[in-house]
Each structure stands twice: as C-alpha cells, then as structure tokens.
Amino acid sequence: QPSPPHCKTMMGRRNYALAATALLRFHVFLFALTGLSEAARSIVDFGAVAGDNSVAAAQRNAAAISAGLAAVGDGSSADRVLVVPGGLTFYIFGIEVANAHDFTWQLDGTLRAHSNITAWPKKKTQRASSSGLGEPKLLMNIVHMTNCSSFTIQGNGMIDGQGYEWWVRTFEKKLPFGRPHMFVMEECEDVVLKNFRCRNSPQFHFELKDIRNFTIRGLDIHVDTERQKALHLTHGTWLDGLPTFPLNTDGIDPAGRDILIQNVSITNFDDAVAVKPSHGGGRFATCSENIVVENARVKFGVGMSIGSVPPNVKVNCVRNVTFRNVAFEDPFKAIYIKTNPGNEGSGIIDNITYENITVRNPIWWGVYIGPQQQHQPDGSGPGCMLYPLEPCETQPRVPISRVVIRNYESSGGPLGPGIMRCNETAPCTGFEFDNVVFDGELHQLENFICEHVEGVAHHSKPVPKCFSSKGNN
C-alpha cells in the first residue's frame, strides 16, 4: 500500500538527513587524512542545517557561520579551520565577523543566499549611507568581514547570491534599502582567497576596502548574463547588443595596496576587476597601489578597470597597477580608466600598465580612457555612452599619467579602436603604446577619438593622432 503524502515528505527529510550525516562523516575522515581533524570544526557543530530553504533555517545558518568564524578566529582555540561540508547546501542570510585572525574557512559545500528580499536583515547600525552607486546601503551583505587578518578562504565549493530578484527590483526601483554585496572586507590584511566559485551576486561580488597584502587566486565568478539580458530587453535598456543600465554586478573591486589577483575567470556585464581609489583617510592604504592582475579570462565584462576616480579633499589615488595576460571575449570594453565628477579636492591616476592583452569582438570601445560612460541606477554620473554624438565634460581635477599599453591585439568589433579624453587644463601625459594593433573589417573609425593626450607609439596601428611624438619604428 502506498505511503501517505505526509509520510513521503518525512521519509524524504529523513533520507536527506542521513545523507548529510554520511557526507559530514566522510569529510571528517578526509580531514583526518590531511592532518587537519583536530584543528577543524564544521558549521554543523555550530547549529547549521543543510537542505532547508526556510527563512528560519537561513537565519540559523547565518548565525551559526558567524559564530563559527568568531570561534576559530578568536586566537584562544586550537580549532583554526571552519568547514562548510561538501555535497551540502546551506541557505543563509547576512554573515558578519569582526576582529578574527589566523584562521581558515574551508568552503567545500554551497552557501546560497536566501531569495526572500523582504526578510533580508538590515545592518545593526542604521545610517542612510550610499554605496557610491546611487543606492542606499542599509542591508547586511552576504559576507561582511571587518578588521580581520591572516586568514584564508578556500575550497571547491560555491557561494550563490541568487541575485535575479534583486536585479528585477533594481529596474523597478523597489529597493529602498539597497542591495547586498557578496563579500565585503574592510581593513583586512594578509589574506588569501582561492579556488571557490561565486554566482549571481545581487551587487558586487567582492568589495575590498582599505586592504593590504591580499592574494586572490583561481576564483570563478559567473553572472547569469542571459537572464540579465532578458531584463534589459524587457525594460528597453538593451542598445544594439549593449546594456545601458548598470546592474553593478562587478567581479572584484579592490581598494588597498600590495594585491595579487591571478588565474581568475569572470563572466558578467560589469567591471571584471575595478581598482578603486584609496585616500589619506585610510588605515592600511592612502593610495591603491602595487597591484597586479594576471592570467585572467573575461567573457563580456566592462573591462579591467581603474576607477571610477572622483576628486577628494584627501586626494583619491590609484598608481602602480599592472594588468597582464588577459583574454577578453566579446567585451563591452577591455581597457577602461575612468574619472568621475566632483568639484572639491583632487585625484591621481598614475603608472598604469596593460600588457599581453587579447580582445576578440569588442562590442563597444576596446580602449576607453576618460569620464565614466554609464549613468548609475539613480541617474547620477556623467553618462558619456553616446560621446561623440552627445557632449560629455572631462575631469580637470584627476590627471591621468604614465599609461602603458604593450602587446595589445584587438580583432573585430563595430567601432574604432577607442577613446582617450582628458581635460585641456590637465592633459594626460606620459602615455606609451608598444605593439598595439587593432584589426577588424567592421571598424567604423580608423583612429582613436583622442583629446589632450601626450604620448608616443612604437610598432602600433593605428598611431593615435593626438600623440605629439610618433616613434613608430
């Protein structure tokens, strides 16, 4: 005789619980083999429950992980590793940890942000701060770490931000409290992030503010661009293959010093990596500097970017940044250096190098240096998407100097090679092109749109017409 429906449900839950227990025991065995068993604790030890997508379970899991990270990072315990067991899925709300040091977060399972937007927790300290993207920031982020050091987050697991419903409400302007980022790390140092996957953050995947000595390696960041495209088509913001409304699902946005990002794969409709400025008010960094991004693959994306950099009374600064060995496929932009409006203070963008860059079928400009192109969701920002068809002011308070592009090859695409625009009172200086080649039958413009830029080119085609010295030999 068939079992009643409620019995089948109970049997299913019991079977899942048995499977979860078996997987947990298997992971304990694995840690024993690697000599980590005495130093590792599972999030289940702190009360996390797998496979339950209820609001109550997500709240419980967030509290369990926050408590687990605090415990392994408090400096007094021999247990220095917190494990998310593989093969299991844990629904979560916002996780916060502060003042944790010398620990490892082993991410082997899946953490999935709960999709109930109305239940998403607000920050404990309420203040109407802005994200800098024209949105308030009153909600907890998915993971927020403050004043933490000497830690590693690693594993073959995944964090799924379930961003779609957040994106829908962004278009509809129905998010009065803003959107969470996936990871926010503030005033953290001596950190390694490696080998795990990130999917569909509501907003930035990594916002790293005032950091020092970071290594980010082997991350796979993927946004469901097909669903985003469908939203753009629905709301009329898809222009000839180009999204004109930024959902700001950036890959990695660091602001700090001594940072290495390597062997990453990023698919999105926003900045792949965007180095943000630091200023004189920073604890670890007064300038975002000594940063290397290398061995990366980007699908779509708005570039390996600097900025945007507005002026600041404490001097916003980005310098000594290298992007190398980067392959772009169908990007909206590849090289992107952007200033932003502001009438007080100043900024610095200096000594930026792009080398060994390949670009296939750029959808918009392969190289764009100048005022930020897109408006933010609230309509703020210069909005230079249609320049030169529409006017767009440049920024005199943030000069750009010593930009080197070396071994750059671009093929295909409907437009010319790029735009470089600086202000006549603060021209770009010290630019150098070396073996920079653009080739595409569809190019509508033969040369750069170029204003107030001083530079030299070697073995390059075309040579920017505004370069005062043409050492093309």
The structure's pTM equals 0.90
In whole angstroms, give the CA distance from residue 137 to residue 121.
12
Residue carrying structure tokens 């309509």? 379
**Rounded distance, CA 209 to CA 211, Å?**
6
Kindly state the tokens that stand for 68.
């687990």
Least confident of 3-7, 75-79, 261-265, 425-429: 3-7
- pLDDT the model gives residue 444: 59
Q: What share of the chain is helix, strand, coil (3-state, %, to 5)?
A: 15, 40, 45
CA distance 133 to 380: 8
Is it the case that residue 175 has pLDDT exceeding 80?
Answer: yes
With CA atoms as reference, report the closest residue to 221 among 159, 139, 277: 159
Tokens 């999105």 appear where? Answer: 268
Whether 221 and 274 have beta carbons less than 8 Å apart is answered as no
Per-residue pLDDT at 36:
47
Q: Tens digit of pLDDT for each residue in 231-245?
A: 999 999 998 888 888
pLDDT band at 382 (very low <50, low <70, confident <90, very high): low
282 CB-contact burial (10 Å; exposed 0-12 / middle 13-18 / buried 19+): buried
Q: What is the pLDDT of residues 53-80, one digit of tens each?
A: 999 999 999 999 999 999 999 988 789 9
pLDDT bracket for residue 38 (50, 70, 90): very low
Range with the lowest mean pLDDT among 59-63, 129-133, 179-183, 251-255? 129-133
Average pLDDT of span 29-45: 65
Using alpha carbons, select from 48, 69, 70 the residue that is nearest to residue 57. 48
DSSP string, 74-88: SSS-S--EEEE-TT-
Q: Which one-letter amino acid corresponds to residue 329?
A: E
